[in-house]
Amino acid sequence: MRKYSIFAIAREAMRAHKGWEAQWNSPEPRSSYDVIIIGAGGHGLGAAYYLAKEHGITNVAVIEKGWLGGGNTGRNTTIIRSNYLYEESMDIYEHSLKLWEGLSQELNYNVMYSPRGVMMLSHNVHDQQSFKRHINAHRLYGIDNEWLTPEQAKAYCPPLDISKTARYPINGATLQRRGGTARHDAVAWGYARAASDRGVHVIQNSEVTGIRRGPNGEVQGVETTRGFIGAKKIGVSAAGHSSVVMEMAGVRVPLHSTPLQALVSEPLKPIFPCVVMSNTVHAYISQSDKGELVIGAGTDQYNSYSQTGGLQIITHTLDAICELFPIFRRVKMMRQWGGITDNTPDRSPIQGVTPVPGLFVNCGWGTGGFKATPGSANLFAHLIARGEPHRLASGLTLDRFRTGRLIDEAAAAAVAH
């Protein structure tokens, strides 16, 4: 892999950039692999990368029905934070945040991790109680998150309306300074390039149509639109399509897939410095480096794989945005789109072994998968390599739905994140 640097750019500038090589391979599949990962999103590509780097397993293929990074990785609002409530959640999201901090250097690919701060607005006594519960837990757990007065919040995010006459006045906010955003495509591309460099095959444009199992029920490989490909182990990381893929192995998972919409404004000069979220009025917003206001809308209420949603979801989100930031009322929506989120009953992910030998699952990230990308990928690789979950992911297993030991972030997830 030719290293990326300012010098490389200078060299290429001299010869019209004719010297750049392909960022990742696009090989014909081998007849079989040690590990096949289904789904070339950030989680899947990252898992392949860490399998090669940390576990020495390089005979790996990532199989993607469309184009890599084309699912939720390329459709989300790129928010990164780790200020979740329960220990199981803090473990994995904080692990992820730590990896984010060095990811550009690790991958030699600028993923533009921007710790501009994630602010969550408190509008009433109940919000305040809940946020204080979070903050105290974070402090004792070693995660940064602090309480701001309305005035401090306004100082950090000038467009914010903190007037007492607002329909839901702001009585404070939390701020995780290490939280922020990153460039979503770059995450997929950076992992693809680094994994590819270590010998991983990234096989795009090939849909898995079946999972072949042996006499003892163990996995043997996958049927694809390019034919059968053997595998000793299979990791499913198919986000919104997880139910569909798991069904191929006869495994039911407690998921429902719903559309999640987002929108961006026309490009504007810098006006919005951080990420702001509000559970009470259901909105979250940041401004991309290109100058677009990036706004996350809610999920539609019904199951769907259509990657589209209703206009009412968009309008309700903008109601809230314009109440919080009245100066944005004349700003224009340039593009809206949707992704398919896989939601669990407790709004926490599932990562673990399955009843099928050799089959491992990573799903249920719902509306929060992007921020978890490096951490989830890293721990998923561990799971696949060792056959058992890493300590930091030990609470995320399927079994919790039998025992009732749920990780109920649903309350904390009243707004999509």
Partner 1 sequence: MLLIHCPYCEEDRSELEFRWAGEAHIARPENIAAITDEEFAEYFFLRNNEKGLTYERWRHIHGCGRFFNAARDTVSDRFLMTYKAGLPKQPIPTAEETAAIAEEKTVETWEATEGDAR
Partner 2 sequence: MSASARDLGAFRIKDAGRHTPARTARFTFDGKTYTAMEGDTVASALLAHGVHLVGRSFKYHRPRGILSAGPEEPNALLDVSRDAGRRQPNVRATVQEVFDGVRIASQNRWPSLKHDVGAFNDLLSPFFAAGFYYKTFMWPKEAWHKLYEPFIRRAAGLGEAPKEEDPDHYTSRYAHCDVLIAGAGVAGLTAALSAAATGVSVFLVDEQPEVGGALHFDAGTTIDGQNGYEWAQAAVARLKAMPNVTVLTRTTVFGYYNHGFLGLVERVTDHLARPGRDLPRERLWQVRAKRVVLATGSIERHMVFANNDRPGIMLASAARTFLNHHGVAVGRQVGVYTAHDSAYEAAFDLKRAGVSIAAIVDCRSHPGDAVLAEARALGIDVLTGHSVINTSGRLRVSSMTVARNGGSNARKIAVDALIVSAGWTPSVHLFSQSRGKLRFDEQNQRFLPDIYAQDCVSVGACNGTDDLSDLIDEAIAAGGGTLALTGENSFEWTGGMIGAAEGAGPDTVVKAFVDFQHDVTAKDIRLAVREGMHSIEHIKRFTTNGMASDQGKLSNMHGLAIAAEMLGRPIPKVGLTTFRAPYTPVTYGTLVGHSRGDLFDPARKTPMHALEAAEGAEFEDVGNWKRAWYFPKRGEDMHAAVNRECRTVRDVAGVFDASTLGKIEVVGPDAAQFLNLLYTNAWDTLKPGKCRYGIMTREDGFVYDDGVVGRLAEDRFHVTTTTGGAPRVLHHMEDYLQTEFPHLKVWLTSTTEQWAVIAVQGPKAREIIQPFVEGIDISNEAFPHMSVAECTVMGVPSRLFRMSFTGELGFEVNVPADYGPAVWKAIWERAESMGACLYGTETMHVLRAEKGYIIVGQDTDGTVTPDDAALGWAVSKKKTDYVGIRGLKRPDLVRDGRKQLVGLLTKSPDVVLEEGGQIVADPNQPKPMTMLGHVTSAYWSENCGRSIALALVAGGRSLVGKTLYVPLKDQTIEVEVTDMVFFDKEGGRIHG
DSSP character at residue 397? -
| Residues engaged in binding partner 1 (CB under 8 A) | 65-67, 70, 204-207, 209, 225, 241, 243-244, 252-257, 301-306, 308, 310-312, 345, 401-403
Residue 391 found at the interface with partner 2 (CB under 8 A): no
Minimum distance of partner 1 from residue 300's CB (angstroms) = 9
- Of the candidates 241, 238, 250, the residue with the CA atom closest to the CA atom of residue 211: 250
Strand, helix or coil for residue 411: coil
Backbone φ and ψ of 197, nearest 5°: -60, -30
Residue 123 found at the interface with partner 2 (CB under 8 A): yes
Residue 17 found at the interface with partner 2 (CB under 8 A): yes
Residue 163 found at the interface with partner 2 (CB under 8 A): no
Cα distance between residue 178 and residue 285, in whole Å: 17
Cα distance between residue 309 and residue 362, in whole Å: 25
Considering only 5, 209, 225, 301, the residue that binds partner 2 (CB under 8 A) is 5
Cα distance between residue 272 and residue 341, in whole Å: 27
Minimum distance of partner 2 from residue 318's CB (angstroms) = 5
Residue 337 found at the interface with partner 2 (CB under 8 A): yes
Residue 310 found at the interface with partner 2 (CB under 8 A): yes
180 binds, among partner 2, partner 1, none (CB under 5 to 8 A by kind): partner 2
Minimum distance of partner 2 from residue 416's CB (angstroms) = 18
Q: Which amino acid is at 353?
A: V
65 binds, among partner 1, partner 2, none (CB under 5 to 8 A by kind): partner 1
Minimum distance of partner 1 from residue 304's CB (angstroms) = 5
129 binds, among partner 2, partner 1, none (CB under 5 to 8 A by kind): partner 2
Structure tokens at 222: 């996958």
Strand, helix or coil for residue 228: strand
Cα distance between residue 178 and residue 117, in whole Å: 6
Q: Which of residues 57-96 bind partner 2 (CB under 8 A)?
A: 66-70, 74, 87, 90
Q: Which amino acid is at 173?
A: A
- Of the candidates 178, 238, 184, the residue with the CA atom closest to the CA atom of residue 211: 238
